[in-house]
Amino acid sequence: MESRRKKTKTRKRVLKWIAFSVIIISLATFLYILATPLPRAEVPVVTRVLGANGEEIARLFVQNRIEIPGDQIPDSLRAAVVAVEDERFYWHKGIDPVALVRALFVNLRAGRVVEGGSTITQQLAKNLFLWPERTLTRKIHEAFLTIKLELQFSKQEILTMYLNQIYLGHGAYGVEVASRTYFGKPASDLTVSESALIAGVLKSPENYSPYRNMERAIQRRDLVLTKMLNQGKIDQATYDSAREEEVKLAGLPRTLNHAPYFVDFLIRYITAWHKNITEADLIRGGFTIRTTIDLKMQQAAAEALVRGLGEGKKDEKGVEQPQGAIVAIDPTNGHIKAMVGGKDFENTQFNRAVMAKRQPGSAFKPFLYAAVLEAGFTAVSRQKCEPVSFPTGVPGQMYEPKDYGDQDYHFREMTLREAIRISDNVVAVRWANRIKPSKIISVAQRMGIESLLEPNLSLALGSSVVTPLELAVAYAPLANGGLRVEPIFLLSLEDRNGNVLETQKPRLERALDEKVAYLLTDILKEVVRPGGTAGGVQAVVKRPAAGKTGTTDEFRDAWFVGFTPDIVAAVYVGNDDERFPVGRTGGAIASPIWADFVKNALADMPARDFPRPAGIVEINVCSETGLLPNSTCPTVKELFIKGTEPKRVDPTVHVREEQPAPWRIRRPRAELVPGEEEEPLELPEDTEETEPEPQETEPIEPPS
């Protein structure tokens, strides 16, 4: 008897010790859970590139996920997911014993695993923090993390994190991307039926995606709706209506990137200037990049380039040639509105808009003539187009400029306005010799050219290399009244928490006197009118525009840089291998691309002209001398900067000729715009007396 009592006491003592140990261990475990912080969750989130109007231009991602706050997730979607995935979610503390026991019996009866007992919180812990292996160690770790999540976050916060985390098929992570993938709209706009379908997909996206099996997807949706009805989350009327609702899919989207050359340029910039951000960070980090790109203009540019270049031939690298580029900026603030660096980014990633340094040809001449006008010359100032030689600084070598086409010289004097309109090379070089290359370089750099410019006379004909973006930026002062703009493309760079890491603001500074800018713009308008080297442009764009063509030696490269008060765009066309010429002039291939782009890009914007500044006067002058007309003079209206207009009356008595005037010439066929008739072009006669050429010249390098 005594022995039995001793055994009973011993048993009680052991049980008490065990109970005490369990309490101590449980308490220690609880305190450990409280004291141990949750590990950092590395959840890849899509980086969104947005255009100027907030539209998506591109998504950069490893996992295509857009996190949204809880108030943007509809109650119907929350209810549907809880109903089908974890109906006791709001009652358990992270681990649901009832669900575990139920799953155990179901799986034993089936002889295989057909139902899991994991709660939403457990699934979240597993997806956020754990490795995929099924081990006892991982399950214990999962339990700790699950309890920690329940202690640290509310049920609504846990559910929001879960709905932003889950995979729902077709590369869609989280309910926001899933909603856009399946229904083409944000999650906040989902109907009850659509919410149930997405919740149904969650169990097995491969089996229940409506894109793969619509019948199975609808059956699964109806099962979710039934659970929602039975659990009191919807009423009978809502249930009936949701089951009758037709499933309207948006269609699987292609990888979103409407501006691949621009996005590549953007990535290179961000990773170069933000040393703590790598390309890997950008495709995982959930950044929001707000840019200046106008999606409509971007699409217009891409389509215009493809149409204008037509079908080419592949080179030895498999790249279709010729290639080209368009870059367009807003002259009022420098915002890049469109950037296309080639016909097809998948075929060639070389971004010619910013990387192709080529000779611009006559597209460089506006910088020469801006310098000429700054020096006090006028639109009726003249130089003679005739054979002329300049020393190069190399013994025995002389530089002898010639015009393009089959007519090397015009053998007459030519006004500045006429020389620009027909793009006369000899006159341009004479003007460069008169004002000196250093002056041209100074003006070009003030206006926006940053590439190295060689101080020789051939500079006037575009012998130094530049990029299309540089030319677009440097033409902006002509469109905006003389202000240089800095190219801006990044409105803001924000991390996933909304912290702004960088913004770019417009920077404008005076580059040209507004009167010089206006006068040169007025002259450049004639380039796009019939008779100019881009004479077909005006009929297409049907709004005030100006610009300049460029064609390099042996027709290697073709350019057109044009502008309106609303947009400046540079178009470049050429073969990547400079040994092979494109074979056409800027007026024949580049200017039609520009016109096509501008017509569509500005279709919704009212046409407006360049505002005339104070200090510009318009008077009649003698069209043959540029002086004030007498009674026998043929007259023409001309613009002058106040103070530079002629003061002397022409003393000459002019007699009208009966025979055709010697200046009735034909444009070289290579310069005709496709579809334009080849007709004689009347050019105005020379004006004021040519000032004598200076005897001293600078040593120059031979033209390339």
Positions annotated as catalytic residues are 85, 362
Kindly state the tokens that stand for 86. Answer: 């974890």
Residue written as token pair 């609808």: 218
What HEC string does 445-473 produce?
A: HHHCCCCCCCCCHHHHHCCCCECHHHHHH
E strand intervals along 201-314 = 288-291, 313-314
CB 197 within 8 A of CB 205: no
Q: Taking the alpha carbons of 34, 496, 494, 61 in that order, is the dihedral positive or negative?
A: positive
CA 578 to chain centre: 27
287 closest CA partner among 273, 272, 267, 268? 267
Q: Taking the alpha carbons of 51, 54, 59, 60 in that order, is the dihedral positive or negative?
A: positive
Distance CA 624, CA 213 (A): 81
264 closest CA partner among 231, 289, 235, 239? 289
70 closest CA partner among 158, 150, 147, 151? 158
Kindly state the tokens that stand for 434. Answer: 């008169």
Largest CA distance in the chain: 154
Report the relative pairing of strands 47-50 and 288-291 from DSSP bridges: parallel
Distance CA 218, CA 196 (A): 9
CB 27 within 8 A of CB 19: no
Decide: helix, strand or coil at residue 209.
coil
Host H or E run for residue 195: helix 192-201
377 closest CA partner among 698, 637, 700, 689? 689
Mark 324-358 as b/e (b = at least 16 C-beta within 10 Å).
bbbbbbbbbbbbbbbbbbbbebeebebbbbbebeb
CA 171 to chain centre: 25
Distance CA 687, CA 627 (A): 7
CB 287 within 8 A of CB 58: no
Work out the number of other CB atoms within 10 angstroms of the CB of residue 631: 6
Distance CA 180, CA 355 (A): 36
Decide: helix, strand or coil at residue 368.
helix
CB 91 within 8 A of CB 79: no
Kindly state the tokens that stand for 509. Answer: 């500074």
Distance CA 280, CA 271 (A): 10
* Crossing angle (nearest 10°) for helices 75-85 and 120-129: 100
Kindly state the tokens that stand for 535. Answer: 């004479």
Kindly state the tokens that stand for 113. Answer: 């695993």
CA 295 to chain centre: 8
CA 558 to chain centre: 23
390 closest CA partner among 23, 30, 702? 702
CB 91 within 8 A of CB 177: no
Cis peptide bond N-terminal to 322, omega within 30: yes
Kindly state the tokens that stand for 412. Answer: 């007459």
